[in-house]
Structure 1
Amino acid sequence: MPTTQQPLRGIALKVASVCVFVSMASLIKASADAIPPGQAVFFRSFFAIPVILAWLMIQHDLAHGLETNNPMGHVWRGLVGTSAMGLGFAGLGLLPLPEVTAIGYAAPILVVVFAAMFLNEQVRLFRLSMVALGMGGVLIVLSPRLNLDPTTADTGEALGAVLVLMGAVCAALAQVFVRKLVQTERTAAIVFWFSVTASALSLLTIPWGWVWPTPAQWALLIGAGLAGGVGQILLTSSYRFADASLIAPFEYTSMLLAIGVGYFIFAETPTTTMLLGAALIVTAGIAIIWRERQLGLQRGARKAGTPQP
């Protein structure tokens, strides 16, 4: 059933989802010193499942919401999505939260490249220029961490930078798989089966040293899983009330939140280099979203048979 457009409600839900996801990342980061990334992926994914099922029950969509026409599509999406999550969680233990957030913004920019490669989407000069600008910003953020001088380089931070960037690449590939899945699958099914797949795949990391959490760590990990489920529901709901092109830019409010949480909770002070690189990435991302909106309006006008201005 179509939903009446309520832009302010859509924006509010989107911002709420961003807040919840930043909280989730903070909970994972707080436990990262003791909990292996694979184990964190399990908690994040497994404890999101009850939240998603409860949401489907409230929506009276449990009977049909989990049906799938493309099981292998979910498997492939799960493989790359779980890899993205694990790499990102590993990076959270090695880098400040704002830097992880900034590097993660490379994912939607890389989607433009991967969509052209794998989905045959046409990419013109403007979007290619913005991709170059955004990746330039990523390199600026990464530059202090990839110091080649062995006397001053921090190998942990360099590894963290590489892991988070690899996670962004995997996240972009996951979004490409999602673009294919949405053609035949319900959103609820995509979210649910990803959580199931990620939970199962994360169990394969047990031989690499899972630990028995302390009570505090149990609380952090379960909280992260519940937050992940709530955040996904808020995000999904936001797109019911407003166009994606309107609410997508509000994703970048996560940088402000990450800087605040990093400073007040983890005593992480953002550097000028990180802020400059993040500004370029955000600018490129918003420009790509704006261009997508313009192209969407033009396509809509052509379908309606109206003359272009």
Structure 2
Amino acid sequence: MDQTIESNLRGIILMVLSMGAFAMADTLIKLVSGSVAPAQIMFLMMAGGSFMFCVIAKLQGARLIDRRVFLPVFLVRYLAEVIAMVGMVMALTLVPLSTVGAIIQATPLLVALGAVVFLGEKVSWRRWSTIVLGFVGVLLIVQPGADGFDALSLWAVLSMFGLSVRDLTTRMTPPDMASASLAAYSAIATLPFAMAWIVMDGDTFLPPEADWVFLISIILLGSLGYLLLTASIRSTSLSVVAPFRYARLLFMVVLGMVVFGERPGVSMLAGTALIVISGLYMMWRERLLKRQTG
């Protein structure tokens, strides 16, 4: 087999496995939400993630002590991480899994919009149309002003905004900083907020009635998803593997139907289709332009 084809196939497989791991972690979060408070879930995820990412960083030979972590771009990234995590945990607790999966998949479209506004990137009318079409998809899912509007779905929208700002600021971080170190800094910075949230709610840090098999699995699956994602991106071109990020949406829709008996409506499916089509078209256009200028 040609080496390029082999590396592309490997990257695609790793990306799909990564999205599967993330989707399974999301499903377990929803399952434990009945006995574990959102603040406790966030604390355990960040505490476990801090440990796992620090170990990964050390195994990769990356630095864990860096004065640059207090630069303004990092502080904004930490705040965005907090917003994204709060929105995600609350959404997974209160909103159908398939709905959460569909909304957060619009993140790349919002990142593209942010790159125009904050980084001064030039965008053609085709890309503007793609961004608008994707957000029409989000509106179809959320349905503001309609009888079927569920205000709780705004938690997923909040998470989407947080993830977008996090991804946007990631572009502005020093390129020599290891991904594992960056993930460790974000997890550690988020811990104080999670701890304060628990104290304000009057909960304990370790939920006594929790299923620890599920909780440990959430941490391990989240860390595994990150490792597989990193390995996928490093295996081949990002333009090859990026479209397969949408596998997470497919996994979440299927898991939502099988585990929770969810049945996505017509507007939900239509909105999801618009988001996926918009995202895939935007990636295809970027790949085409790189070929033309390369």
TM above 0.5, yes or no, is: yes
Task: Report the CA distance between 1:258 and its aligned residue.
Answer: 1.0
Match of 2:203 in 1: 210
Match of 1:169 among 144, 161, 169: 161
Which residue is equivalent to 1:304? Answer: none
Shift of 1:68: 5.5
Cα separation, 1, equivalents of 2:25 and 2:67: 28
The answer to whether structure 1 residue 296 and structure 2 residue 290 are counterparts is: yes
Tell me the equivalent position of 1:6: 7
Amino acid across the alignment from 2:259: I
Structure 2: unaligned runs, 5 residues or longer: none
Report 1:241-256 matches (<5 A).
241-256=235-250
Q: Which amino acid aligns with 1:102?
A: A
Deviations 1:8-49 (A, max 9, x none): 111111111101100111111112234332321211121123
Give the C-alpha shift of residue 266 in structure 1. Answer: 1.2
Q: Is the 8 A contact 1:65 1:188 kept in 2?
A: no
Describe the shift of the 1:287–1:34 C-alpha distance in structure 2 as closer, same or farther (beyond 3 A). same
Q: Structure 1 length normalisation: TM-score?
A: 0.86
Within the alignment, does 1:39 sit opposite 2:18 as a pair?
A: no
Work out whether residues 138 and 275 of structure 2, in 8 Å CA contact, stay in contact via their aligned partners in 1.
yes
3-state SS of paired residue (2:260): coil
What residue in structure 2 maps to residue 224 of structure 1?
A: 218
Aligned sequence identity (%): 30
- SS in structure 2 opposite 1:265? helix
Q: Does 1:257 align with 2:251?
A: yes
CA deviation after TM superposition for structure 1 residue 208, in Å? 2.5
User: Are the counterparts in 1 of residues 21 and 224 from structure 2 also a CA contact under 8 Å?
Assistant: yes
- Cα separation, 2, equivalents of 1:56 and 1:88: 25
Per-residue deviation, residues 150-192 of structure 1 (Å, max 9, x unmatched) = xxx6xxx723211111211111111111110153522222111
The alpha carbon displacement at 1:148 in A equals 5.0
Distance 1:182 1:142 in 2: 36
8 Å contact 2:106–2:138 — kept in the other structure? yes
The whole-number CA distance in structure 2 between the counterparts of 1:192 and 1:170 is: 17
The question of whether the paired residues in 1 share the 8 Å contact of 2:137 and 2:270 is answered with: yes
Q: 1:284 to 1:176 in 2, by over 3 A?
A: same
* Count of residues in correspondence between the two structures: 288
Residue 79 of structure 1 deviates from its aligned partner by 0.9
Q: Quick one: distance in 2 between partners of 1:98 and 1:121?
A: 32
Contact 2:49 2:219 in 1 (8 A): yes
Q: Is the 8 A contact 1:142 1:161 kept in 2?
A: yes
Q: What are the Cα deviations for residues 260-306 of structure 1, in whole angstroms up to 9, with x where unaligned?
A: 2111111112222211110110000111111121222233x2xxxxx
2:166 and 2:34 map into 1 onto residues whose CA distance is 27
Offset, 1:88: 1.4
Whether contact under 8 Å (2:91, 2:156) holds in the other structure is yes
C-alpha contact 1:65 1:186 (8 A) present in aligned 2: no
Q: Distance in 1 between matches of 2:67 and 2:126?
A: 37
SS in structure 1 at match of 2:172: helix
1:249–1:51: structure 2 CA closer, same or farther, 3 Å change rule? Answer: same
Give the structure 1 partner of residue 134 of structure 2: 134
Match of 1:235 in 2: 229
Determine the structure 2 residue equivalent to 1:52.
53
201-210 or 251-260, which deviates more: 201-210
Q: What corresponds to 2:100 in structure 1?
A: 100
Query: What residue in structure 2 maps to residue 306 of structure 1?
Result: none
Distance in 1 separating the partners of 2:65 and 2:21:
24
Q: Which residue of 2 aligns with 1:278?
A: 272
* Structure 1 position 230, deviation (Å): 1.5
Distance, in Å, in 2 between the alignment partners of 1:18 and 1:47 is 19
- Greater Cα offset, 66-75 or 6-15: 66-75
Aligned CA RMSD, in angstroms, stands at 2.2
| Aligned equivalent of 1:307 | none
119 and 126 in structure 1: CA distance in 2 versus 1, 3 angstrom threshold:
same
Structure 1: 5+ residue stretches without partners: 302-309
Query: Which residue matches 2:89?
Result: 89
